[in-house]
Structure 1
Amino acid sequence: MAAPTAIENPGAEQAWRWLQPVAQASSLQEVLSGLRWLMPLLDTLPDTVFFLKDHEGRYLAVNKTLTDRLGVKDRSALLGRRSGEVFPDEFGHQYEAQDERVASDGETVWEQLELHLYPNRQAGWCLTHKLPLRDATGRVEGLVGISRDLQSTPNRHPMHQRLASAAEHLRKHHTQALNVSHLADMVGLSVAQFERQFRKVYELSPRQMHTQARIQAATQWLAQPLSVAQVAQHCGYTDHSAFARQFRATVGMTPSQYRELQRRGRMAMRAAARDAQLRQQAQAPQRPLPAQAATSANPLHNHGGTGYWAD
Structure 2
Amino acid sequence: MTGDLVDSMAKWQQTTRPASLDSLLDALGPLLPVLDLIPNAAIFIKDAQARYLLANQTLVERCGLKSRQPLLGKTSAEVFPAQLGPVYTAQDMKVLEGGLVLESQLELHLFKNREPGWCLTYKWPLYSQANAIIGLIGISLDLQSASKTHPAYKRLVAVDEFIRQHFNRPLSMAELTAIAGVSAAQLERYCKKVFHLTPRQMIHKARLEHAHRLLHSDMAITDVALHCGYTDHSAFSRQFKALTGLTPRQYRQATGQD
- TM-score (ref. length: structure 1): 0.77
Aligned partner letter, 2:100: E
Q: Give the equivalent residue in structure 1 for 2:182.
A: 189
What's the CA shift string for 1:264-308, capped at 9, x where partnerless? 69xxxxxxxxxxxxxxxxxxxxxxxxxxxxxxxxxxxxxxxxxxx
Cα-Cα RMSD: 1.9
- The Cα of 1:20 is off from its aligned counterpart by 4.8
2:66 is equivalent to residue 60 of structure 1:
no
- 2:81 aligned with 1:80: no
Contact 2:216–2:257 (8 Å) recurs in 1: no
* Matching of residue 161 in structure 1 with residue 154 in structure 2: yes
Corresponding letter in the other structure for 2:240: F
Structure 1 residue 16: deviation in Å? Answer: 4.5
Work out which structure has the larger RCO, using CA pairs closer than 8 Å and 6 or more positions apart in sequence.
2
SS of 1:263's partner is coil
Could you tell which deviates more after superposition, 76-85 or 113-122?
A: 113-122
SS of residue matched to 2:69:
helix
Cα distance, 1:58 vs structure 2: 0.3
Match of 2:100 among 78, 86, 107: 107
Report what 1:308 is aligned to.
none
Alignment partners' CA distance in 2, 1:156 and 1:44: 25
Partner of 1:305: none
Matches within 5 A, 1:32-51: 32-51=25-44
CA distance in 1, matches of 2:91, 2:64: 23
How many residues align? The count is: 256
Residue 97 (structure 1) aligned to one of 71, 74, 90: 90
Matched, 1:26 2:25: no
Q: 1:183 Cα deviation (Å)?
A: 1.1
Moved more, 12-21 or 126-135: 12-21
- Gaps spanning 5+ residues in structure 1: where? 1-9, 266-311
| Bigger Rg, structure 1 or 2 | 1
1:148 to 2:109 alignment? no
Q: Tell me how far apart the structure 2 counterparts of residues 223 and 71 of structure 1 sit (CA, whole Å).
A: 23
Which blocks of at least 5 consecutive residues in structure 2 are unaligned?
A: none
Match of 1:203 in 2: 196
Give CA-to-partner distance per residue, 1:210-262, whole Å, 9 cap, x none: 01111111111112222222211111112211211111121121111111233
| Alpha-carbon contact 1:133-1:141 (below 8 Å) kept | yes
Pair 155,50 (structure 1): closer, same or farther in 2 beyond 3 Å: farther
**1:11 corresponds to which residue?**
2
So what's the TM-score if we normalise by structure 2? 0.92
